[in-house]
Amino acid sequence: METINSRLKNWASILDEKTREQAITTSKMPFIFPHLALMPDAHLGKGATVGSVIPTLGAIIPAAVGVDIGCGMIAVKTQYKERDLPKDRRPLREDIERAIPLSAGKYNNKIVATAQPRIEELTRLAAQAGFDPASYAGHWAHQLGSLGSGNHFIEVSLDEDDSVWLFLHSGSRGIGNRIATKHIKVAQQVAKKYWIDLPDPDLAYLVEGTAEFDSYIKELRWAQHFALLNREEMMDRVIRQFTNWVGGEIQELERINCHHNFTEKETHFGKSVWLSRKGAIRAREGDPGLIPGSMGTASYVVVGKGNPVSLDSSPHGAGREYSRSAARKTFTLEQLREAMKGIEYRDTDAFIDEIPGAYKPIDQVMEDAADLVSIRHKLRQIVNVKGD
């Protein structure tokens, strides 16, 4: 761990200068307490650094939560071993791709039975929060159970004992993005109204006790819950497809569902703060967690160590080293195919910007996180599903 200054602690051994400067700028906001914690996977983000843990007194920076509110991971350990699986994995991948809408702007054509009670729950919660999700997206209910694109994925993986895990990464989809975008804009309007001088417009904040703050918190919490239920719905569908493929029911030996873009009220260093984790998971002592690598590399099932200096947090993944445009200029389809050898995936140049080389080495990230989490399982992929 490196102390960059009294208000910025860093766990990233791989850290470019622009990311370091962005984190330093955020750490200087007057309501940061006690310090900002930079995780091993830190990289440049919108306003605040992805892979940062930002504790604030009496204010929240909406962009420091991110536009994919509640994004996170879910994993299920099954009773199956690799030897129990059919040799041909392509039918499973294709069945999952049919069961779950992939890619940006792709949603369900109808609401299936497993999604209905979850949508009813979200409708009740929205009414209690005093807002109508349809004001953001009229088809929001059809977004539940859809994956998205970018680094979101669905995987079948094996641990060190060849036990089968089902693993996926997604968030609050278009509805969460629209909620976040609106409140980032509101914060910027408030800053302009009160002549607040900001080092970056995306560091605009909302002050606790104001109507704008209260509205954001209510809708943020709703979007976080949408994201959690979205992952549950997709996992139910993955389980159904896996069950059909393997020819037997799944026994869930373990299920972990954790956010990595979220805000909660927590107590740290003797004070109650709003803790925003932007690309970081909660890692209190004993907390189960999931840290995926990039496409084609290892993922980890972990347990938190409760490191107080990290504000009980750990990394959420590998973290990008190349922007998407830079990755497309640097890497080739043949390199992607080489990286994905032995893994069933959709062979397309649409995924070049997701090649492992565009990310930090996940094993280095985990080495940097040694005082934040303990590793329970190291997973290797055998099936990968992504959206364009």
Secondary structure string (H, E, C) spanning 348-369:
CHHHHHHCHHHECCHHHHHHHC
343-348-350-355 Cα dihedral, nearest 10 degrees = 40
- The β-bridge relationship of strands 36-43 and 8-10 is parallel
For 322-328, the CB contacts below 8 A with 24+ separation are: 322/353, 322/357, 322/358, 324/353, 324/358, 325/353, 326/358, 327/352, 327/353, 327/354, 327/355, 327/357, 327/358, 328/352, 328/353
**Judging by beta carbons within 10 Å of its beta carbon (0-12, 13-18, 19+), is residue 261 exposed, middle or buried?**
buried
Which residues have a catalytic role annotated? 316
337-339-340-342 Cα dihedral, nearest 10 degrees = 110
What are residue 299's DSSP bridge partners?
Answer: 379
Among candidate residues 150, 169, 164, the one with its CA nearest the CA of residue 316: 169
Q: Cα–Cα distance between 321 and 382 in angstroms, integer?
A: 25
